[in-house]
Structure 1
Amino acid sequence: MTTFDDRERAFETKFARDEEMAFRVTARRNKLLGQWAANLMKLTPEEAEAYSRAVIQAEFEEAGDEDVVRKLLGDLTAAGVEVDDAMVRKAIEEQAIEARRQLMESK
């Protein structure tokens, strides 16, 4: 029975580690998205940092990426930036790859 218990604990540990990594990738991705959007809106470095934090916070409004897409689309459009849904979703994919790369390099 010890082998079974050890395997169960190993799976639980791996699951917890994978969930933590997914959370960190999403948070980093959202920070990078905030920087991307801030650059398009020509914000100052201080405003860009605050905006990145706001994009990270937007992730917690509902499950999935729709809350982040809505925030970015709304803010970019309000700032007069020519952007559409497809452009924002492409940026999400690109920044997710970059976020994963950065986290893997930091280990």
Structure 2
Amino acid sequence: MTTPLHGLPRTERNDGFGIADYETREGEIARRNVLFGLWAGRRLGLAEADLEAYAWSVHLADREVPGQDDVIAKVSADFAAHGIDISEARLRRHLHEMRLRASLDLAHH
């Protein structure tokens, strides 16, 4: 089953955030980032209405440096600012889980 991103269509989407086509590696990474952002936002206790904006901010953080370290750094800093103690290793595991979920979504499309 495909995980919707708050009503965002999976394909033929050009939203200014770099998700033009989920069928690409970049689309899979973008989907991973947004799913990770939604997970993190819930852990931060954000209101449902604020989750999508937070998830996109996590995705946009991925454009700062190559690789996933910028996404991990953003979420880690946000957790620390909210007094949530979580290891970098645990954040990386969750990010990996979201990558698998994004990949499965693509496989079932």
Give the TM-score, by structure 2 length: 0.76
2:37 pairs with 1:48 = no
Choose the corresponding residue for 1:74, options 46, 63, 77: 77
- 1:22 positional shift: 0.9
- 1:75 positional shift: 0.4
**Deviation string, structure 1 residues 36-60 (Cα, Å, up to 9, x no partner):** 1011011011211110000010011
Choose the corresponding residue for 2:60, options 57, 60, 85: 57
Q: Which runs of 5+ in 1 are unaligned?
A: 1-19
Between structures 1 and 2, the one with greater helix share: 1
Choose the corresponding residue for 2:28, options 25, 29, 32: 25
Mapped to 1, the partners of 2:89 and 2:29 lie a distance apart of 19
Number of corresponding residues: 87
Q: Which runs of 5+ in 2 are unaligned?
A: 1-22
Letter of the structure 2 residue corresponding to residue 90 of structure 1: R
Mapped to 1, the partners of 2:91 and 2:101 lie a distance apart of 15
Choose the corresponding residue for 1:89, options 67, 89, 92: 92
- 1:71 positional shift: 0.2
Aligned-residue Cα RMSD (Å) equals: 1.0
Mapped to 1, the partners of 2:53 and 2:42 lie a distance apart of 13
Letter of the structure 2 residue corresponding to residue 59 of structure 1: D
Mapped to 2, the partners of 1:29 and 1:41 lie a distance apart of 18
Spell out structure 1 runs of 4+ moving beyond 2 A. Answer: none
